[in-house]
């Protein structure tokens, strides 16, 4: 295989996994994934990302507190969530949302079903491992940008090891709880979680793949 074929194989294998097996990932494999993800560029080589890896006990504690807090539906992220999704963004969001609902059997108007599926975020979709990704507040948007690159590379390195992942901003919506459970430095912001483990191939939520826009929608030639 050529290098680009290898890269595309890894990128095509990655998807956001929403149903995991119980099997845990060997710590050596986790460390290897992090070491590969660390190779991404960052402004001034600041490498602003940090991961807090939760033990099963910490994961269950965080899950219980997030589920309890989810009852009131309040979101208080450290970094503001998008104001709105309009136009193409709204459309793409809706398409992938319905792909998920169709896969798990949530019909239009089934509010309980959609809430149940949303709550799966706080169960980390059954993943044995959860990493919380944080960024130093003083680096602002560019720190978050660098951490985003790290998140993507983590998902791809994991995919190369046969490990499935899902980045989760939903967890960052309850930043105070996350901060408390992991003991996060006051100078850092909670960016997102990455839940990971081995994919359950029979889980209905894993039965679809999202689409990508054509190049004509994202590339603009300037003369």
Ligand X SMILES: Cc1cc2nc3c(=O)[nH]c(=O)nc-3n(C[C@H](O)[C@H](O)[C@H](O)COP(=O)(O)O)c2cc1C
Residues contributing to the site for ligand X (CB under 6 A): 15-16, 96, 121, 166-170, 192, 210
* Residue 156 or 192 having the CB closest to ligand X: 192
Smallest gap from residue 169 Cβ to ligand X (A): 4
Beta bridge partners of 20: 199
Smallest gap from residue 131 Cβ to ligand X (A): 13
* Residue 215 or 222 having the CB closest to ligand X: 215
* Residue 25 or 192 having the CB closest to ligand X: 192
Choose among 52, 44, 98, 71: nearest CA to 208.
Answer: 98
Long-range contacts of 41-45 (CB under 8 A, 24+ apart): 41/146, 41/149, 42/146, 42/149, 42/150, 43/139, 43/142, 43/145, 43/146
Smallest gap from residue 109 Cβ to ligand X (A): 21
**CA-based Rg of the chain, rounded to a whole angstrom?**
18
* Residue 92 or 137 having the CB closest to ligand X: 92
* Residue 14 or 161 having the CB closest to ligand X: 14
> Rounded to 5 degrees, what angle do the CA atoms 58, 78, 184 make?
40
Instruction: Yes or no: say if 164 and 17 are a contact pair by the CB < 8 Å rule.
Output: yes
Smallest gap from residue 204 Cβ to ligand X (A): 14
Smallest gap from residue 135 Cβ to ligand X (A): 12
Quickly count: other Cβ atoms within 10 Å of residue 29's Cβ. Answer: 15
């Amino acid at each position: 295989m050529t290098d680009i074929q290898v890269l595309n194989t890894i990128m095509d294998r990655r998807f956001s996994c929403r149903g995991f097996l119980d099997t845990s990932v060997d710590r050596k494999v986790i460390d290897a994934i992090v070491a590969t993800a660390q190779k991404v560029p960052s402004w001034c080589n600041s490498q602003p990302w940090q991961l807090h890896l939760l033990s099963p006990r910490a994961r269950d504690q965080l899950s219980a507190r997030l589920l309890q807090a989810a009852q009131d539906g309040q979101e208080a992220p450290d970094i503001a969530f998008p104001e709105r999704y309009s136009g193409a963004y709204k459309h793409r969001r809706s398409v992938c949302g319905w792909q998920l609902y169709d896969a798990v059997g949530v019909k239009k108007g089934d509010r309980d079903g959609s809430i149940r599926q949303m709550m799966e975020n706080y169960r980390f979709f059954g993943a044995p491992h959860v990493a919380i990704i944080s960024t130093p507040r003083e680096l602002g948007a560019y720190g978050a940008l660098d951490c985003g690159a790290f998140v993507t590379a983590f998902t791809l390195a994991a995919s190369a090891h046969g490990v499935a992942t899902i980045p989760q901003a939903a967890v960052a919506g309850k930043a105070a709880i996350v901060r408390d459970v992991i003991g996060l430095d006051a100078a850092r912001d909670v960016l997102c979680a990455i839940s990971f483990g081995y994919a359950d191939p029979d889980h209905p939520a894993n039965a679809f793949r999202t689409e990508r826009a054509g190049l004509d929608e994202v590339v603009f030639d300037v003369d």
